[in-house]
Chains A and B, each alone.
Chain A
Amino acid sequence: MVFVVAWTGSTVPANDDPLRWAADAEGGAPYIFYDPQDPGRVVGFEVDLAEALAQRLGRRIQWVQYDYAGLVSGLRRGDFDFAMNGLEVTPDRARALRLSRPYYVYTLQTVVRAEERRFSSLEALLALNGRVGTLEETAAQRLLEEMGFRPVLYGNQTEPYLDLEIGRLDAVVMDLPIAVYFARPNPRLRFLGEPFGKGYYAIAFRKEDETLAAEVDRALADLAGSGVLRRIYERWGLWNSAQEALEYWDATDVTAEAGRNWTPSRYVPLLLQGAAVTVFLTITSMAAAIILGLPIALLRLYGPRPLRWAATAYIEFFRGIPVLLLLFFIYYGLPSLAEQWALPCSLRFSPFQAAVLGFGLNYAAYEAEIYRSGIASVAHGQWEAAASLGMSRTVTFRRIIFPQAVRVILPPMTNDFIALFKDTSIVSIVAVVELTKQYQILAKSSLKYLEIGAATAALYLVMSVPLGLLARRLERRWGKGL
């Protein structure tokens, strides 16, 4: 996705190549997002700022869509020239990248449901042991953790407010611009208390692009001094007295914030926590799939015709849709469905419940097919031999057929278990922090993609390789003719 923001012919262009600017327009309001009136266009205060910068620099700035989570690594790889997307100034970023002077002073805003009466401050909520949501990988997350919360982490800014509205959360703490855009217009939500926790957004460059960074810094100083910045922020309802500091900026304050030292002794325990969630999630989901799969297989094999069709439809449906879609539907779709149809139950599952439900339903379809082929692999003569001894079909199935089928069923089921073990990595979309998610969070905070990535991979392997060996052993022992 490529989009030219601005072009000025008034000054002589220093360079004909446009500067490539990366930002994530997916759910990115009010920073950068697709214009609801004209979805072919992006708007936002950062789009306005980019236009102003282009004018000042006398260069075209070309926007490229880039996943927020990948901005830092994309910049280092050279996919674009700079990232401007609400990136907060942190000591880690200041070390790994070249940061411009700040272009916005953000504060954090607590938002609660309009009718909330149980608490009037975050401290009171902490005492109530309440649930707070925020964006992962942000100053808000760190601040909440320092306060003693275990915040529920999200990958975009719309979902926390959705979960707050339907009661999965008690409060949401995010950057003020987000709260202004998403929460203030919503009559079911209200701001709680004053903004707090000041921080800065800056533009990120590669370490070596010193000249470009200096040019942009000069342009930003110009924009702040001439009131252009103020006009942009006023237009978006983001101006406040804190922004006055932008004009008199001294670059040294920024990195003075307390640093974080990402040593293995710090991140390994967090990874182990993630691994424990992965293991528990896999076991619970697989148990659900194994329990649910058997009746489905039996209905498909022996059920009366309508039920046989229903079982076949189940299998084809759940094998045919992506589990990601299913998870989205269960987590976000069902609560609104329950509301629209005024169902007596809210269908508001916790992230973990939603994940187990999604994987359980999905894998039950696969397990049903494994059961079916295992049961069908037992010679028909076994049914006849048992029948000729006067055994009923039920007893025959339980005592004669199923125990033989198990030997055919177990190896592929073990394989599915390993597959599920790795598939669970997608549940981060419903705010479950398992091993892969923990890796993403840690790697982004510390910028140690390689080191923590290797540690994470090692954890996966330590768990999955023995399982794979077990599966092959079972196969050797039982897979061949009895």
Chain B
Amino acid sequence: MATDLDIEIRGLQKNFAGRPVLCGLDLRFTAGETVAVIGPSGAGKSTFLRCLNGLCYFDAGEIRVMGHRLRPGPHPAPFAVLREVRRTLGMIFQDFQLFPHFTAMQNVMEAPRQVLGLSARQAAERAAALLDRVGMSHRAQAYPRELSGGEKQRVAIARALAMEPRGLLCDEITSALDPDLKAEVLAVLEDLRNDGMTLILVTHELTFARRAADRVIVLQNGRVAEDGPPIEVLGGGRRSVAASTAH
């Protein structure tokens, strides 16, 4: 895994229908960090994550991902730049968004074939290895509707990894899952972290944040309320912020 990932956010502002959602964020992430972004609902956590890879545009400030610059306004960057940013930062969604007309295997193969121009064989080899890594080899030929939530999310992780990103943006990826299914997804994340993957997670899993995160950022009313190691921000789990976050 390359180690020169550098994400810099300056003065990031975003409004929805005139209402400020993000009010000037200044943040920097470095390679190999695992960052948990927490905060009450409506604090702008998901919006922040989506701005990072250009799924959502912003109104002021700038974002730099490994030198690629996203600007304010409806067209943050030319498509070639956006594609590079998205290759660098993969994204995983709360509701999976697997492609329902493809098998698990085809879901993982699709982007490498279409975007990277891999041959069918190369893409299949890569997909097989990744499905193995997330423990889904045995369901490679299953369609998304035949998979459990946890299985879907593991396929989604493999699909994101197939583009060989340097970091993953995870948007509440365990919120829709039952507790035991959560565990299998979190185990995959922890494994990725140990391999040096940069992870930026919007999450409500405080236990996981305490154990696995290098850094916890608390967003409140569109601002960074706290930013530091989990032990400082979350303490023993009895501090007010943590209480207001865990719903």
Chain A residues packing against B (C-beta within 8 Å): 379, 381-382, 384-392, 395, 399-400, 403-404, 407, 482
**Is there an interface contact between B93 and A384, defined as CB atoms closer than 8 Å?**
yes
B68 at the A interface (CB under 8 A): no
A-B contact pairs, 26 of them (CB 8 A): A381-B95, A381-B97, A382-B99, A384-B55, A384-B93, A385-B91, A385-B93, A385-B98, A386-B99, A387-B55, A387-B86, A388-B55, A388-B90, A389-B159, A390-B83, A390-B86, A391-B111, A391-B114, A392-B79, A392-B83, A395-B115, A399-B114, A404-B99, A404-B101, A482-B100, A482-B145
Q: A-facing mask of B205-230, CB < 8 A → 1, else 0?
A: 00000000000000000000000000
Question: What is the CA–CA distance of A392 and B91 in the complex, to the nearest angstrom?
Answer: 16
Alpha-carbon gap, A418 to B139, bound state (A): 41
* Bound form: Cα–Cα A55–B36 in Å: 107
Chain B nearest Cβ from A314, distance in angstroms:
28
Distance in Å: Cβ of B4 to nearest Cβ of chain A: 19
- Chain A residues near B53 (CB, 8 Å)? 388
Tell me the B residues contacting A by CB distance below 8 Å: 53-55, 79, 83, 86-87, 90-91, 93, 95, 97-101, 110-111, 114-115, 144-145, 159-160, 163
B97 touches A482 (CB 8 A): no
CA distance A108 to B160 in the complex (A): 81
* Complex: A379 Cα to B97 Cα, angstroms: 9
A404 close to B100 (CB less than 8 A): yes
User: Which residue of chain A has its CB nearest to the CB of B95?
Assistant: A381
Q: Considering the chains assembled together, what is the distance between the CA atoms of A184 and B160 in angstroms?
A: 81
A386 CB to closest chain B CB, in angstroms? 8
Residue in B79, B97, B100, B163 whose beta carbon sits within 8 Å of that of A384 in the complex = B97
| Closest B residue by C-beta to A387 | B55
CB atoms of B55 and A391 under 8 A apart: no
The answer for the CA separation of A322 and B198 in the assembled complex, in Å, is 62
Which chain A residues border B95 with CB–CB below 8 Å?
381
Given the complex of chains A and B, what is the CA–CA distance between A395 and B112 in angstroms?
Answer: 12
Q: How far is the CB of B10 from chain A (nearest CB, A)?
A: 23
What B residues does A400 contact at CB under 8 A?
Answer: 99, 110
Contact across chains for A389 and B100 when beta carbons are under 8 A apart: no
- A104–B210 Cα distance when bound, in Å, is 108
How many pairs of A and B residues are in contact by the CB < 8 Å rule? 59
Do the beta carbons of B115 and A388 come within 8 Å of each other? no
Distance, CA A400 to CA B114, complexed state (A): 11
Given the interface pairs A389-B86, A389-B115, A395-B114, the reply to whether A382 lies near B163 with Cβ below 8 Å is no
Are A388 and B101 touching (Cβ within 8 A)? no
> Which residues of A lie under 8 Å from residue B100 when comparing CB positions?
404, 482
| Bound CA span A400–B113, Å | 13
What residues of B have a CB within 8 angstroms of the CB of A387 in the complex? 54-55, 86
Find chain A residues with CB under 8 A from B55 CB: 384, 387-388
B115's partner among A385, A391, A403, A482 (CB-CB below 8 A) is A391
Q: Distance in Å from the Cβ of B200 to the closest Cβ of chain A? A: 13
Contact of A385 among B79, B87, B97 (CB under 8 A): B97
Residue of B115, B159, B163 contacting most chain A CB atoms (<10 Å): B115
Please determine whether A381 and B99 come into contact, CB atoms closer than 8 angstroms: no
CB distance from A61 to the nearest CB of B (A): 72
* Chain B residue nearest to A407 in the complex (CB): B101
Task: Report the separation of the CA atoms of residues A399 and B34 in the bound assembly, to the nearest whole angstrom.
Answer: 33
Across the interface, do B110 and A399 meet the contact criterion of CB distance under 8 Å? yes
Residues of chain A lying within 8 A (CB to CB) of residue B110:
389, 399-400
Closest 3 CB pairs of A and B: A385-B97, A389-B111, A388-B91
What residue in chain B is nearest A379 (Cβ atoms)? B97
Given A390-B87, A390-B163, 20 more pairs with CB closer than 8 A: A381-B97, A382-B97, A384-B93, A384-B97, A385-B97, A385-B98, A387-B55, A387-B86, A388-B90, A389-B159, A389-B160, A390-B83, A390-B86, A395-B114, A399-B110, A400-B99, A403-B101, A404-B100, A482-B101, A482-B145
Enumerate chain A residues within 8 angstroms of B91, measured Cβ to Cβ. Answer: 385, 388
A474 to chain B, nearest CB (A): 15
Q: A391-B114, A395-B114, A482-B145 are in contact. Are A385 and B83 (CB under 8 A)?
A: no
Separation of A387 and B91 alpha carbons in the complex (Å): 10
Shortest CB–CB separation between residue A404 and chain B, in angstroms?
Answer: 6
Rounded to whole angstroms, the CA-CA distance of A47 and B145 in the bound complex is: 76
Q: How far is the CB of B75 from chain A (nearest CB, A)?
A: 13
Q: Is the CB of A390 within 8 A of B111?
A: yes
Q: In the complex, A482 Cα to B79 Cα: how many Å? A: 31
> B97 contacts A390, CB within 8 Å?
no
Chain B residues, CB < 8 A from A391: 111, 114-115
Query: When chains A and B are docked, how far (Å) is the Cα of A384 from the Cα of B91?
Result: 10
Q: Which residues of B contact A404 (CB under 8 A)?
A: 99-101
A294 to chain B, nearest CB (A): 18
Which residues of chain B have C-beta atoms less than 8 A from A386's C-beta? Answer: 99, 111
